[in-house]
Structure formats: structure tokens, C-alpha cells
Amino acid sequence: MKLTASLLLVLTAAMAYADDQPDWNDPVWAQVMATPPAASELSISEVTVSRADQLAEAEATANAALATGNWMQAEQQLNDALARYPDAHQLRLKLAALQYGRGAPAQAKALLQQGLELAPEQAGLRLTLARILANEHRHAAAWQVLKQAEPELAQHLDYYALMAEAGRRSGRCEDAMAVYHRLLAQQNSGPWWLGLGLCQRSLGQNFTHAFEQAQASVDLGVASLQFVNQQLEQHGTTQTH
């Protein structure tokens, strides 16, 4: 009896399971099986930070480090950014200024020269390098650096002013005078008139007009003005005797 009852239970369960099974020959079921499952609406997108954002973040981090007096960290941040983006000229200028400021001019000059190898037309790199050279009294070298590019004059008056000064101080007065004339055609400036007059005097030319223009300017320093007055007075005395 117990065996018979157990068999009945098994048979009943099997029949119930069979009733629940799909009809594999049903075309509806075949269509369902052939339809691919719907794509999940969950997608993972890669977040990329733009070049501008990365450079801005590097500069901000460097500035924050400088604010706390941590020059080493500031330089490291800028170095890392330049390693990724060698053409980030503004960061290169900032790093060169930091290096020069802490007494490492050789590093600053090498960094600027590397930038010029990548971008010879970059006036900012040339001007900064030339200023360092001029501060070292290497005026001929500064002239050569500046002479290798010709940025737009109206937008780079400082560039050409340093070029004229470097030319005058390195004995290239003919070339320097040409630059001074170009500068003065753009803007009246006492120091430029003085530079022009000094070149004219060095070449044995009449420098009084240039010195008089410098004397009448409002942007000439006290020491320079005293020098101009003295030279004009001496020249006038010489002319009258």
C-alpha cells in the first residue's frame, strides 16, 4: 500500500509538471526564442577631462602650493603638466619664472630653449629668455634670440623695445636705430628717444633732436632726465664755442 501511494504521488507530480511545460512546437514560442533580449538601459560612459581643464587644474594646484611657500610642489605640478602637454606655453613661462626666481637661471633658460625648439614663433618664450640674458649682461645673445622672430609690432612693443636696447648695448647701433624708429612711429616714449639719441651719438651723428624729445617726454626717469639735460647743455656749450 505504501509503495502504491508513493507511485501515485510521483505520477501526479510528473503529470502536473508536464502540463506546465511549453509546447516547443508552438510558433509563438519559437518567435519568442528568436527575439534577442532587450538591451539594458544601464550604460557606463567614460568621463574624460579636457586639456584646458587639466591645465587649469595644474596651474591652480601650483598657485595653491606657492601660496603656502611650497615651491617644490608648485614646480612639480607644472613639470607634470608640461610632460603631458609640452606645448602649454603659459605653464612653461610660469615654471621658468619660478626657476629663475629661486636662483636657477640655467634651468630656466634650458626650459625656455626647449619650448622654442617646439614653437620657434612663440614671442613670449623669446622675450623671457632674452630678458634673462640681458640681466646677465649678455646683450648680444639677447639680440640674437629676439632677432630670430618678428611678431606683430603693435602687439609686442616690449619685445621690440628690448631688441633695440640689446642691439644698442651690443654695438649694433645701425640695427637698433631702425627698431627705435619703428617703435617711435607707434608710440612716443622718452626711453626710446633716449636710446635713439645714444645710438646717434655713438655713431657721431646729431643726437640733439632725439634728446630734446626725450627731455620733453613725461615718462623719462629722474636719472635719465638729468643725463639728457647735462648732455644737451654740454652740446650747446660746445656748439657756441
pLDDT along the chain (241 residues), means of 10: 42 44 48 47 59 86 89 92 94 96 96 97 97 98 97 97 98 98 97 98 97 96 96 71 37
Cα-based distances in Å from 38 to 32, 33, 35, 41, 42: 12, 13, 9, 9, 12
Neighbours of 181 (CB within 10 A): 12
CA distance 163 to 140: 10
CA distance 157 to 163: 10
**C-alpha cell of residue 29:** 514560442
CB 123 within 8 A of CB 156: yes
At residue 47, the pLDDT reads: 56
At residue 54, the pLDDT reads: 86
Radius of gyration of the chain (CA): 39
Upper half-sphere CA count for residue 28 (Cβ side, 13 Å): 2
Q: Which one, of 206, 181, 186, lies nearest residue 195 by Cα?
A: 181
Amino acid letter for position 26: D
Listed as own residue / partner, the contacts of 120-123 with beta carbons closer than 8 Å and 24 or more positions apart are 120/148, 120/149, 121/149, 121/151, 122/89, 123/149, 123/151, 123/156, 123/159
At residue 41, the pLDDT reads: 52
Predicted TM-score (pTM) of the model is 0.76
CA distance 88 to 94: 10
3-state secondary structure of 85: coil
Q: Which one, of 123, 103, 102, lies nearest residue 112 by Cα?
A: 123
At residue 156, the pLDDT reads: 98
Residue position matching grid coordinates 539594458: 40
At residue 2, the pLDDT reads: 43
Residue 17: is it exposed, middle or buried by C-beta count within 10 angstroms (0-12/13-18/19+)?
Answer: exposed
